[in-house]
Structure 1
Amino acid sequence: MAHDEPRLGDAFGLTLQRCWAADAAPGAACEVIERDDGHINAACASRYFTPADALAPLDREAVDLAEGRILDVGVGAGRHALALQASGKDVVGLDPSPGAVEVARQRGVDARLGSIAAPPADIGRFDALLLLGNNLGLLQGPERAPEVLAHLASLAGPGALLIGTGMDPSTADADHRAYQERNRRSGRLSGQIRMRNRQGVLATDWFDYLLAGVDDLRALVRRSPWHVVSVREEGRNYLAVLRLQAW
């Protein structure tokens, strides 16, 4: 039987709004991710509301490292921005989801609607840019990473830090391994993902995301305005600190 495609809309923002309306209670809303091979994953959206004292150690370390004027890229519901504010730091959030921006603002974050490629014209420059919650995945892959890194540099002041978390794609899951093998056969990095958010009858546009191992990250950054200062690994997860070079 034929079925209709979901309507294009802010599915991610709706997920956060539903979770926030239920006081971010566990199980109040699920984030649903659809991959382009049909794989569906659902996870509790309450993690986007994690309080500062319950952040993962790598996230907590990132919050401590960030200084000066800070941009939280992919602010979501504001969990990292609120932790920064609780430490007395000056932070602006950026997100392309209107619903996410609305939730973050309701929680007290200076959140702006926009993206790395299309930020608000008056957003200014920053001393530290954060890509937390595995948002190093926004580098997308070898084809798009140079452009993304250049856009990030255009938002950065001299000597600024880019502080992000990522995840190595290594896995024992058979479905994920098959997807990664398909990537390799087509000349892509194993951790590249084509996916979209779903919520009810809504779906976002398809977008590219990257799970990059540390060696892949170093290769992506090599010909960019950034250089890798340090990487701290914790299992499959890692925290990378990059510094803007003169360019």
Structure 2
Amino acid sequence: MSAPPADAAPWAAADPYTAALRTGTGPLFLRRTDGWLLPLDVERWCARADAVDRDVLDRCEGPVLDVGCGPGRLVAELAARGRTVLGIDVSATAVERTTRLGGPALHRSVFDPLPGEGRWRTVLLMDGNVGIGGDPHALLRRTARLLAPDGLLIAETAPVDVDERAEVEVTDTPVRASGRPFPWARLGTPALLRHAKEAGLRSTAQWEAGGRSFVALRVRTAHTSADAANSAAVISSQRPRNTSAERPVVSA
């Protein structure tokens, strides 16, 4: 199995992130090296699944793998419904919180060996997790290998048209970074669709709800299109175009 494009450990080791998960409160930001800040919605992540989340979960099929499950609201909701589900996260604190909520979770990167590879019916990339590793193409190819044939990927995208890769740090104040930089990406729906096509995934639905944007994709199979040969290669096998699509909260 190929290694991730970059080590995910800095995110997991970022003290403000751990503290925020333990308290369930922010503020928390991803801070780009030029001072641009992206607020992280810790309070929502640590709350119960809301109506928008539940609509996403209603669309899930079969066993579900939640990549970057965070504090576990989605895993816990699916487990409460009696669904087969597993969360994975590089943060031990996130995994501990997920299991306390009654959801099964493992302390793993998506690029680590995982249970059920090639048999998951649904994979979730929520809450900005399309940015894992800073290489969307590598992440989507890896996701395609985790999914069963014609499996479903549901990804949450940025609500703006952006295709950005950057070095970021986790911070809990507008002016102070608290860890070493690590690669991250932000993708709007158009960018995700471009990367997905290259990774052997086809779009089946797009929708917006509660100010959030989502895309549903499926692994291409020999029965879906003339791109079957490309799909088979993917299955066998974490520059910005618009870096200012949103105004920064603070420029330090």
Name the TM-score, length of structure 1 as normaliser. Answer: 0.73
Q: Distance in 2 between matches of 1:127 and 1:43?
A: 29
Change (3 A) 1:190 1:50: same
Structure 1 window deviating more from structure 2 (155-164 vs 196-205): it is 196-205
Q: Distance in 1 between matches of 2:159 and 2:42?
A: 22
State whether residues 131 and 185 of structure 2, in contact with CA within 8 Å, keep that contact through their aligned partners in structure 1: yes
Structure 2 counterpart SS, 1:30: coil
Aligned with 1:91 (options 85, 93, 98): 85
Structure 1 window deviating more from structure 2 (217-226 vs 196-205): it is 196-205
Q: CA deviation at 1:42?
A: 5.1
Which amino acid letter does the alignment assign opposite residue 227 of structure 1? R
State whether residues 67 and 127 of structure 1, in contact with CA within 8 Å, keep that contact through their aligned partners in structure 2: yes
State whether residues 28 and 171 of structure 2, in contact with CA within 8 Å, keep that contact through their aligned partners in structure 1: yes
Structure 1 counterpart SS, 2:122: strand
Which amino acid letter does the alignment assign opposite residue 51 of structure 1? R
Change (3 A) 1:42 1:222: closer
Q: CA deviation at 1:82?
A: 1.4
Equivalent position of 2:188 in the other structure:
213
Q: Please state if 1:117 is matched with 2:111.
A: yes
1:12-70 superposed Cα distances (whole Å, 9 cap, x missing partner): 65134431xxxx3xxx4432322111234555632212213xx152x222100112110
Which amino acid letter does the alignment assign opposite residue 129 of structure 1? V
Q: Please state if 1:197 is matched with 2:170.
A: yes
Aligned with 1:165 (options 135, 141, 156): 156
State whether residues 16 and 103 of structure 1, in contact with CA within 8 Å, keep that contact through their aligned partners in structure 2: no
1:187-221 superposed Cα distances (whole Å, 9 cap, x missing partner): xx6544431213599525422121x2322222111
Aligned with 2:76 (options 71, 78, 82): 82
Q: Where in structure 2 are the equivalents of 1:17-36 lying within 5 Å?
A: 17-19=21-23, 24=24, 28-36=25-33
Which amino acid letter does the alignment assign opposite residue 218 of structure 1? L
Equivalent position of 1:152 in the other structure:
143
Q: Distance in 1 between matches of 2:77 and 2:182?
A: 30
State whether residues 13 and 99 of structure 1, in contact with CA within 8 Å, keep that contact through their aligned partners in structure 2: no
Q: Distance in 1 between matches of 2:152 and 2:111?
A: 18
Q: Distance in 1 between matches of 2:101 and 2:57?
A: 18
Alpha-carbon RMSD: 2.8
Aligned with 2:13 (options 9, 15, 27): 9
Percent of residue pairs bearing the same amino acid type: 25
Aligned with 2:36 (options 33, 36, 39): 39
Q: Distance in 1 between matches of 2:113 and 2:28?
A: 25
State whether residues 72 and 93 of structure 1, in contact with CA within 8 Å, keep that contact through their aligned partners in structure 2: yes
Q: Distance in 1 between matches of 2:45 and 2:153?
A: 21
Change (3 A) 1:43 1:69: closer
Change (3 A) 1:145 1:75: same
Structure 2 counterpart SS, 1:238: strand
Q: Distance in 2 between matches of 1:157 and 1:44?
A: 31
State whether residues 221 and 227 of structure 1, in contact with CA within 8 Å, keep that contact through their aligned partners in structure 2: yes
Q: Please state if 1:51 is matched with 2:27.
A: no
Q: Please state if 1:244 is matched with 2:219.
A: yes
Segments of 5+ residues of structure 1 without an aligned counterpart are 1-5, 171-188
Q: Distance in 2 between matches of 1:134 and 1:39?
A: 16
Q: Please state if 1:100 is matched with 2:104.
A: no
Q: Distance in 2 between matches of 1:149 and 1:43?
A: 23
Q: Please state if 1:72 is matched with 2:66.
A: yes
